[in-house]
Amino acid sequence: MNADRLPVRPGNVPPQSTLLDKRAIVTEAYTVIPKGSMTDIVSSRLPFWEDTSLWVLASPVAGFCSTFSHYLVEVEAGGGSEQPETEAGIQSVLFVTVGTLQLTINDTRHELRCGSYAYIPSGLEWSLYNTGAAQATFHWFRKPYHFVKGLDEPDVVVTHESQVEAMVTPGSNGGWTTKRFVDPADLRHDMHITIVSFEPGCVLPFLETHVMEHGLYVLEGKGVYNLNQDWVEVEAGDYMWLRAYCPQACYSGGNGTFRYLLYKDVNRHITFPK
Ligand code: UGY
Ligand code: MN
């Protein structure tokens, strides 16, 4: 990652002279939370977490997402939790963007750094601590695991984005790639967190319109996203949520790679209200 494209820390409230940020948008089909809207006064804390604060970027409140929650979490040096998850049946994916963290799952330790990915099945004992000298930042995706009779829950996965091959989308001349942390053919998984990248000038060239919902956090660069016919300019540090069937496409802008962390629910039958 280039130094000039490292994640920008959200946090400070801007001065009173600031013109209001016009990029925050909430519609029925999508939400945009620009990095300027993530200030310390709108962060949250969690039970049993020390020296930690977070922004809840997606949650199943009325009119918002239905399958997951997404937190952007900052942990001070020495902070963390022995009891991170207090709800039953919740699986997690962690993706680290700043600093170093020690993850312990069922007594096995894993050292996480910028670019580390961890999948933690529901029901396992785990803890997470910032073992570095500076603040650490990670993304935390939580989803109730959709059990299916005859399918086991997935195994623990701890890896790093440098270990994952970037799969080229056919027809994109290498300009549109996706890093998949779990095998798409492994149907035990009911959610995928991937990293989608577009080289400068490259595009997602059709209006994807699909049942899966998305959370997108821009990791690097900038681009213009088409969300249900609206063109929205986004850059590193911005968040988007797209409801099921929200039409979506994008152009990459600027002179560096435009890339984002993507949540997608997958691999399950449609369920019907009882
Ligand atoms: O796989 C996807 O749904 C992905 N291509 N969507 C997106 O990047 N908006
Ligand atoms: Mn999509």
Tens of pLDDT, residues 135-163: 999 999 999 999 999 999 999 999 999 99
Q: Which residue has the tokens 């207090």?
A: 86
Question: Does position 3 have pLDDT exceeding 70, yes or no?
Answer: no
Asked if residue 146 lies in contact with residue 270, where contact means CB atoms within 8 angstroms, the answer is: no
Q: Which atom of ligand 1 is nearest to the CA of 264?
A: 3
Structure tokens at 197: 């990248």
- Asked if the 22-265 domain carries CATH number 3.30.460.10, the reply is no
| Pocket-testing residue among 212, 262, 263, ligand 1, by greatest number of atoms within 8 A of Cβ | 262
DSSP 8-state class, residue 270: P
Contacts of 63 (CB under 8 A, 6+ apart): 28
Range with the poorest average pLDDT among 3-7, 44-48, 189-193: 3-7
Q: Which atom of ligand 1 is nearest to the CA of 242?
A: 9
Which residues form ligand 1's pocket by a CB distance below 6 Å? 196, 204, 208, 214, 248, 262, 264
80: CA distance to ligand 2 center in Å? 33
**Residue, of 23 and 5, whose pLDDT is higher:** 23
Question: Does position 204 have pLDDT exceeding 90, yes or no?
Answer: yes
Would you kindly state where each structural domain of the chain is located, as residue ranges?
Answer: 22-265
Query: What pLDDT shows up at residue 14?
Result: 76
Kindly report the protein residue whose alpha carbon is nearest to atom 1 of ligand 1: 264
Kindly report the protein residue whose alpha carbon is nearest to atom 9 of ligand 1: 248
The C-alpha atoms of residue 201 and residue 258 are separated, in whole angstroms, by 10
- What is the helix (H) or strand (E) element at residue 179, kind and residue range? strand 176-180
**Ion ligand 2: residues, Cβ under 5 Å:** 208
pTM (two decimals): 0.94
Question: Does position 51 have pLDDT exceeding 50, yes or no?
Answer: yes
Structure tokens at 191: 């959610």
Question: Does position 21 have pLDDT exceeding 70, yes or no?
Answer: no
Q: Which atom of ligand 1 is nearest to the CA of 212?
A: 3
Asked if residue 97 lies in contact with residue 150, where contact means CB atoms within 8 angstroms, the answer is: no
Query: What pLDDT shows up at residue 138?
Result: 98
- Distance between terminal CA atoms of the chain? 48
Q: Which pLDDT tens digit goes with each residue over 163-196?
A: 999 999 999 999 999 999 999 999 999 999 999 9
- For residues 253-274, give the mean pLDDT: 95
In order, the DSSP letters of 58-79 are E---TTS-SS-EEEEEEEEEEE
